[in-house]
Amino acid sequence: MGSLIREGVFSMSVSQLKDVKMEHVNRYVDAVYKKVVQRNEGELEFLQAVREMFETIKPVLFQHPIYIKQNILERIVEPERMITFQVPWVDDQGRVQVNRGFRVQFNSALGPYKGGLRFHPTVNASIVKFLGFEQTFKNALTDLSLGGGKGGADFDPKGKSDMEIMRFCQSFMTELSRHIGPNLDVPAGDIGVGAKEIGYLFGYYKKLQNRYEPGVLTGKPLEFGGSIGRKEATGYGTVYFVEEMLNDQGQSFEGKTVIVSGSGNVAIYAMEKAIELGAKVVACSDSCGYIYDENGIDLDTVKEIKEIRNERIEAYLAEHPNATYVANSEKIWEVPCDIALPCATQNEIDEKSARRLVANGVLAIGEGANMPCTIEAINYFLNKGVLFAPAKAANAGGVAVSALEMAQNNMRISWTKEEVDERLKRIMKNIYKQSISAAENYEATGNLVAGANMASFIKVANAMVAQGV
C-alpha cells in the first residue's frame, strides 16, 4: 500500500504537487480563520485585520511548511495577554464616572510589548486587538527589538477640564502600572493621548513605583525624557515611505496635489513633509467635516487651530474666507488629487470612496492611520494599478521614533532633531526595501500590502519557532 502511495506521488507532475501542497495551505488557513471567527465573534475590526494578513501570507506558508507544523497562525492571532479593567474617576461636579480600560499584550517574540494608548469613545476589545495585532507586525518591520501591544479606554478627553483628565489618567494608571515596565510593556500615545495625558500618566506611574523610569512611556514632553521629532514621526515617516514608492516609479511629491484626512499629529506632519517635498496640500479634515483650499492649505493656521486653540477645522475659514468647508468628513475623498494620505482612523476609505478617488485620477495612496482602507478598497486600488503604501509599513515611523526615545532614555542622552530625522528616514527606507523585496521573492512583485505582511510575518514567525511552544 505504501509503495502504491509513493508511486502515485512520484507519478505526479511538479505542477500537480504544487497544487496539492497549496490545497493543504488553503485548508489550514481556512480552518484557523474559522476558529478565529468563532473565538472572536462580532469583533469586526480584529477579524478584518486577521483576514487581510491571512490572505497575503499563503505563499510564505507554501514555502515554509514549518509554520504550519508549528501552528504559527493560530498562535500568532491569540494575544498573549488581554487585560480589561474598571476606571472610576470623579468629575468637576463631584460625580463618580466609570470607564473601561484595556491593554492587550499581543506578542513578545521580538521584544517587550510596544504600542499606544487610545482614549476615545469607540475603544473596545475589537479595536485594541486589531491595533495590537497590526502593531506586532509593524514593529517587526522596523528591525528594532519590539513586540506588539495596544491599549486605551472608552474615555473622551474632548470637553474635559485638565483636572478631569488628570484624575482619569491617575485612575487608569493605578491599574495599568501593574502590567507595564521598560522591559515588559512600553505604552505610548495614540488618538486622544497627547503630551498632556502622557505627562499625567508618567507622573502617577513614578509615584506608584517610587522610582524614575523614563523608558516606560514614550511620547513624553522634552522636559522629562521625550524625543525631539516624536510628534512629527508618524506623519513624516508616512511621507518618506510614499516618496520611496513614488521614486521607484520615476515619480515624486514635487508638483503633486495631495489631500490628507485628519488634522491631528499624523495628518499635520504628513502635510508638513509633503509640502516640504514640493506638493500642494489642498484639503484636510476632522470628525465634523473638511476644508478645501485650492491655493494650498495654510499649515500654520491649521496648527494654530488644532495644536493651540483646540477648535474645529471649520475655524480655518475665519482667516481664509476663500476656502470651502464641507460638513461631512467622508466627502473629502471626492476632492481630485494625485496622492491621498488617509491619516484619521480605521476604515475611512471604503470601495465607494476608492472608486471616486480612482475616477478622479489618484496616483498613490499612503496609509498614515491604522487600517484606514477596507479590504475591498485596497483590492480595488491594487486592481486599478494605484500605488498603495499599507499602514503596517507606511505609518511605522511613530513606533520607530518611540524606540529611539527608549534608547535615548536608557543612555540618558538626547539626540538632535537632525539625528532623529535621519534615523527615521533610514528606517522607513529599509521598511520599503524589505516590503518590496518580500513581494518579489514570493511572486507578488509590486504589491506592498503582501510584501509588508510577508516580511513582518516571517520575522515574528521565525522568532516564535526558535523560542519553542
365 has which bridge partners? 340, 388
Cell output for 342: 488617509
Of 114, 150, 231, 459, catalytic: 150
Looking at this protein, which amino acid is placed at residue 266? V
- What is d(CA 290, CA 259) in angstroms, rounded to the nearest whole number? 10
Do the bridges between strand 280-285 and strand 257-261 make them parallel or antiparallel, or are there none, so unpaired? parallel
Q: Tell me the angle at which helices 397-411 and 125-141 cross, rounded to the nearest 10 degrees.
A: 70
Alpha-carbon distance values, 122 to 69, 101, 127, 154, 250 (Å): 38, 12, 8, 6, 41
Do the bridges between strand 290-292 and strand 280-285 make them parallel or antiparallel, or are there none, so unpaired? antiparallel
150 is a catalytic site residue: yes
Q: What angle do CA 307, 308, 314 make, to 5 degrees?
A: 75
CB atoms within 10 A of CB 99: 20
User: Do residues 177 and 213 lie in contact, with contact meaning Cβ atoms separated by under 8 Å?
Assistant: no
Q: What angle do CA 107, 111, 186 make, to 5 degrees?
A: 85
Which candidate, 200, 194, 262, 202, places its Cα nearest to that of 231? 194
Region class of 123: left (phi > 0), else alpha (psi between -120 and 50), else beta:
beta
- What is d(CA 300, CA 97) in angstroms, rounded to the nearest whole number? 37
Rounded to 5 degrees, φ, ψ at 363 are -100, -40
324 has which bridge partners? 292
Which candidate, 140, 131, 141, 176, places its Cα nearest to that of 369? 131
- Active site residues per annotation: 150
